Amino acid sequence: MPDLILGSASPRRKDLLLQAGFSFEVRSSSVNEVISEDLKPEDVVQNLAEQKNEAISRSPNEVVVTADTIVYMGGQLIGKPKNEDEAYSMLKQLSGNCHKVYTGVSIRDSRLWVSFAASTNVNFWTLSHDQIEWYLSKQESLDKAGGYGIQGSGALLVEKIEGDYFNIVGLPISRLTRELAAFKITPG
């Protein structure tokens, strides 16, 4: 069986692969992410995942998996906040509204390259100023698209979802497992 490489420093993606029973090595690189404004959100995340995958060195017996997640609402991409003020603005924007979370995944070895995107609809409760401030005090916002993490206290901001919960966390693990089968990689 080939060796699996997770091309991401995300602790959430690492945890999801571990929970699914995969053995893997983490190997990430820094990529100057270039986003084309004329692409659909699902194409943006696939393209970003592919950029990351191209930047990871691999041997012939290795399969590299990379991913990228964005929040999309009202025709606008919402990335990771740079600071707490930006996180507040993002959460205020998401409050009482439905948005989509897209995760693009890229899987590559020496013979095959597969990319796909998953999307999940997320409805937020209407949030008061105090509720947003409470959430910001949990220090979960700054490294997450949209300024929240559904796997932590951010779950209390969400009224309902339609789609894959794990996609919101950052890796649609069920779909990924099926795609990895073509690379002869299965959970242990």
Cβ contact 111:182 at 8 Å: no
- Rounded Cα distance between 157 and 145, Å, is 15
Q: Which residue has the tokens 């005090």?
A: 137
Q: Write out the chain's pLDDT in tens, 188 residues.
A: 899 999 999 999 999 999 999 999 999 878 887 777 788 999 999 999 999 999 999 999 999 999 999 999 999 999 899 999 999 999 999 999 999 999 999 999 999 999 999 999 999 999 999 999 999 999 999 889 999 999 999 999 999 999 999 999 999 999 999 999 999 999 98
Q: CA 21, CA 102: separation in Å to the nearest integer?
A: 24
All structural domains of the chain with their residue ranges? 3-183
Q: Helix, strand, coil % (nearest 5) of the chain?
A: 35, 25, 40
* Catalytic status, residue 68: yes
- Using only C-alpha atoms, what is the Rg of the chain? 17
The overall pTM is greater than 0.85: yes
Angular region, 129: left φ>0, alpha ψ -120 to 50, beta rest: alpha
CATH of 3-183, one of 3.30.70.100, 3.40.50.170, 3.30.200.20, 3.90.950.10: 3.90.950.10
Q: Which of 68, 109, 143, 164 is flagged as catalytic? A: 68
